Amino acid sequence: MSNTHYACDLAAVSEAAARIAGVVHHTPVITSETLDSRAGRHVFLKCENLQKVGAFKYRGATNAVKKLSNAEAARGVVTHSSGNHAQALALAARVRGIPAYIVMPRTAPSVKKAAVAGYGGLITECEPTLAAREEAAAALVARTGATLIPPFDHADVIAGQGTTALELLEDVPTLNAIITPVGGGGLLAGCCIASRGIKPTMRVFGGEPLGADDAARSKAKGEWLPQTAPNTIADGLLTSTGQLTWPIIRDQVERIFTVTDDQIRAAMRFVWERIKLIVEPSGAVGVAVVLSDEFKSLTNIGSVGIVLSGGNVSLDKLYW
Amino acid sequence: MSNTHYACDLAAVSEAAARIAGVVHHTPVITSETLDSRAGRHVFLKCENLQKVGAFKYRGATNAVKKLSNAEAARGVVTHSSGNHAQALALAARVRGIPAYIVMPRTAPSVKKAAVAGYGGLITECEPTLAAREEAAAALVARTGATLIPPFDHADVIAGQGTTALELLEDVPTLNAIITPVGGGGLLAGCCIASRGIKPTMRVFGGEPLGADDAARSKAKGEWLPQTAPNTIADGLLTSTGQLTWPIIRDQVERIFTVTDDQIRAAMRFVWERIKLIVEPSGAVGVAVVLSDEFKSLTNIGSVGIVLSGGNVSLDKLYW
């Protein structure tokens, strides 16, 4: 299947990179001999936990917000999210000087509401169901004329997330594989299009919690399956893949590896303790994958890049 | 006073940089708009917590070990330390394939002994007094012919630590000030020589815990004073400055700022929570200084570099 059928192509990612340059951090790539030794190959950690708002989500949100016409932008943007996308969109909107209407379930942790408010987001609370969230967002769009920017299933968001892989390959051109976590699939799809667009032999893998393994099950069956009743510490990866992300994952991703919460917790502790970086559970999934026996058994992967996708955790508790 | 009277000069730091290149990480420099906003100026964080063994100490240890002749090296190296220098020297010795004899008080935390042993260090336990440590180290030197590499008061160690500032200025040539923590003063003295050697107008500041403020008191009095009965969370900064480091600090450092343990703890949490980096209490001292009212009142410092000196903490407890 040709790339032209997808929501995103290499040109869109390159345009996104030019659009967001100077606003979004070019994050560092970190290496560790201890990690290389444990993984049995060279590992390059792309530190999106060091991105603004603490997550790669700022790339896609910034690309989408900057692409709006002045007339569209003036009416603002809307999303429903209690996670990193909400903060990312709030900041991207503030940078452009436009309102961001963020629908959050009334049960969302107060620290998350405070973070969104801290970036200037205008919060609308709703009941904690997907239907209530969608309804509240639609009502905001109808009332304000603002543009809905969903967290992953949007061409400009996918292109923005793909800039992560562009930078990674710019800094480490010798990579022959990339692992990213997969929730809705925006990061995985974008990185897939970007990295395989530049280097068609690139092997792209997803990492998914066993307790929210819709992408792995979908890949195994060859058709889209939804995530129901997710149960994992990796709270950024609870959602199903989307209509735009799934076809890219279906066709272009080699394999989705699942890891248990214990593996995620161990990887998270390893990154905190040995690499000295704060990653959230979702952000540690790629490290859990590269340390798994299943991944270690793969051959012909000398150098693998891993996206540490985010670092937003509460520091009021221990995770182990 | 001319630089030629000091234990270290810019040429020695430049030679150290060439000597340790490729072995020691060129660590990233991180910025944060939130930090800039709170500090009231541009702040550049030099991430020595991401250095091998989790601290800048690996620079000085590597420089000293690599400078040994083959005959000297074959007999090994010795130090007495329970901190980051012990791990750094153990790894530097292992990289050269020589023994590292590390004298540690028998009361040192088992996690620190395990870390040293993990890098191949040969541990000799002793009573927890300075006299016992020095005696045990001297006995090892006498028995093995190994070379004593002290943690800071050694020309090659100071030159190695100075490479931190060389890299920082290479990456951020516009800096007009640098803040480093000060314990024994190896990092501060080395960074002072390096940065003022390159840019004579550079303003260099030390950050010190109020509970171990010998350098600040020494500067105030204009003569060397020892640290007695230190009491601070910043366990890497307990020692007095040394015979080689003190003259550089006396003449070339503009001022030593003291910060309380509460300020250190708040800075540490800020770096974990907002910058997403694990720093140890000693490593957060520079951030505590830049956020202090005293430092904020300084004028004509548009861009300041801060060395996050290390990230070795226990993750089994909360610090707040």
In a shared domain, residues B167 and B215: yes
pLDDT at residue B4, as a whole number: 54
Residue type, B161: Q
Q: Is residue A318 part of a domain?
A: no
Q: Is residue B72 part of a domain?
A: yes
Q: Which domain holds residue B140?
A: 58-148
> Does residue A22 belong to the interface with chain B, where contact is any CB pair within 8 Å?
no
In a shared domain, residues A105 and A43: no
In a shared domain, residues B172 and B287: yes
pLDDT at residue B112, as a whole number: 86
In a shared domain, residues B201 and B165: yes
In a shared domain, residues B180 and B274: yes
Query: Of B120, B148, B176, which residue is a domain's last?
Result: B148
Q: Name the CA radius of gyration of chain B, rounded.
A: 18
> Does residue A269 belong to the interface with chain B, where contact is any CB pair within 8 Å?
yes
pLDDT at residue A8, as a whole number: 96
Distance (Å) from the alpha carbon of B298 to chain A's nearest alpha carbon: 28
Search chain A and give the residue with CA nearest B277. A277
In a shared domain, residues A38 and A85: no
In a shared domain, residues A165 and A34: yes
**Helix pair angle (A186-198, A155-171), 10° resolution:** 50
Q: Is residue B171 part of a domain?
A: yes
Question: Assign residue B185 a region: left if phi > 0, alpha if psi is -120 to 50, beta otherwise?
Answer: left
In a shared domain, residues B108 and B228: no
Comparing C-alpha atoms, which of A77, A82, A90, A76 is closest to residue A113?
Answer: A82
Search chain A and give the residue with CA nearest B315. A273
**3-state percent breakdown (helix, strand, coil) of chain B, nearest 5:** 50, 15, 35
> Does residue B142 belong to the interface with chain A, where contact is any CB pair within 8 Å?
no
pLDDT at residue A4, as a whole number: 54
List, for residues A85-141, the tens digit of each pLDDT value. Answer: 999 999 999 999 999 999 999 988 888 899 999 999 999 999 988 899 999 999 999
Q: Is residue A317 part of a domain?
A: no
> Does residue A28 belong to the interface with chain B, where contact is any CB pair within 8 Å?
yes
Neighbours of B221 (CB within 10 A): 9
Count of the separate structural domains present in chain B: 2
Alpha carbons A11 and B58: distance in angstroms, whole number: 43
Residue A3 confidence class, pLDDT cut points 50, 70, 90: very low
In a shared domain, residues B71 and B117: yes
pLDDT at residue B2, as a whole number: 47
Q: Is residue B314 part of a domain?
A: no
pTM for the full model? 0.96
In a shared domain, residues B245 and B101: no
Alpha carbons B125 and B229: distance in angstroms, whole number: 23
CATH for A83: 3.40.50.1100
Contact A33 B54 (CB under 8 A): no
> Does residue B281 belong to the interface with chain A, where contact is any CB pair within 8 Å?
no
Minimum-distance CB partner of B278 among A52, A277, A318 = A277
Query: Of B98, B129, B148, which residue is a domain's last?
Result: B148
ipTM of the complex: 0.94
Query: Of B128, B148, B168, which residue is a domain's last?
Result: B148
Q: Is residue A196 part of a domain?
A: yes
Catalytic residues of B: 57, 82
In a shared domain, residues A36 and A138: no
Weakly modelled stretches of chain B, pLDDT under 70: 1-4
Contact list, B28 vs chain A (CB under 8 Å): 28, 30
Distance (Å) from the alpha carbon of A309 to chain B's nearest alpha carbon: 12
In a shared domain, residues A67 and A29: no
Q: Is residue A313 part of a domain?
A: no
B146 in Cβ contact with B124 (< 8 Å): no
B174 in Cβ contact with B303 (< 8 Å): yes
A257 in Cβ contact with A206 (< 8 Å): yes
Q: Is residue B20 part of a domain?
A: yes
Residue A31 confidence class, pLDDT cut points 50, 70, 90: very high
